[in-house]
Amino acid sequence: MQTAFLITARLKSKRLPKKILLEVQGKPLIVHMINRIKYAKRINKIIICTSTNEQDNPLEKIAKQEKIDFYRGSENDVLQRLLDAAKKFDLNFFANVTADIPMIDPFLIDQSLTEYEKMYPDLLVPETNSFGACMVIKVSSLEKVCKIKKEINTETWLKFFKSQKDFYIHSFKVPNENKHKFLKTSLDYPEDYTFIKRIFDELHKFEYIFRNKDIIDLVKKDPNILKINSDKQHLQRWYNHIAKLSN
């Protein structure tokens, strides 16, 4: 059975243009992300899900270079794009996260899938303050959402699942060692890029995939690293942005 990881990816970012193509240690961050997902033992297919807009052509090129699959679909309707990709590759469920989480933890991916297969919920989401894990989505439930929803712009789509009263959304409780209240590992602003570069400088080694726990241990040891992108001002700006997207 195919157990796929679908990476939701576009190159339209305005806060940090083409952010997932920014390089760390000589490779684009999207390539680092792909390499990290390849270490997940439960994943046997990786698919970049991008749009038909020509600005996203570099992502198709990277998929081919890295010998993974790609799917090109709707520009703004992320849910429909994911559904169409899932149908093309004949998936019953799939793991998913956006490409602005380049330091995703392959060990937490495996744990997420193991947890999902205990009960096969409509959607599995990592609990609050956990980092490096992923969503797991049941395709039949995604298809139901796509048939019911009226909106076309579904970049932020969790609310569409939450609005289905008969859906079971399971919160994946990660081990405490993988939680941190103030750690921000997503790539959204220039200081996030600085932070990620610092993490790679400290933890990235040949044939070693650092874990989410390694990042947490590092910032606890040296809190100044955390301050690069997670001081009070930076975090409040991020919280405001998330709140705006959720409305």
| Residue given tokens 């712009």 in the structure block | 153
Is the distance from CB of 203 to CB of 29 less than 8 angstroms? no
What pLDDT is attached to residue 95?
Answer: 98
Domain extent listing, the chain: 4-178
What pLDDT is attached to residue 133?
Answer: 93
Q: If we measure between CA atoms, which residue out of 108, 69, 109, 73 comes closest to residue 89?
A: 69
What pLDDT is attached to residue 129?
Answer: 83
What pLDDT is attached to residue 195?
Answer: 98
**Residue 82 vs residues 7, 57, 73: alpha-carbon distances, Å:** 9, 18, 8
CATH architecture of 4-178: Alpha-Beta Complex (3.90)
Write the pLDDT tens digit of every residue in 91-127.
999 999 999 999 999 999 999 999 999 999 999 999 9
For the whole model, what pTM was predicted?
0.95
- The Cα angle at residue 238 between residues 198 and 240, in degrees rounded to 5: 170
What pLDDT is attached to residue 246?
Answer: 56
Q: Which residues of the chain have pLDDT under 50?
A: none
List of residues 6+ apart from 78 with CB closer than 8 A: 8, 154, 155, 157
Is the distance from CB of 185 to CB of 103 less than 8 angstroms? yes
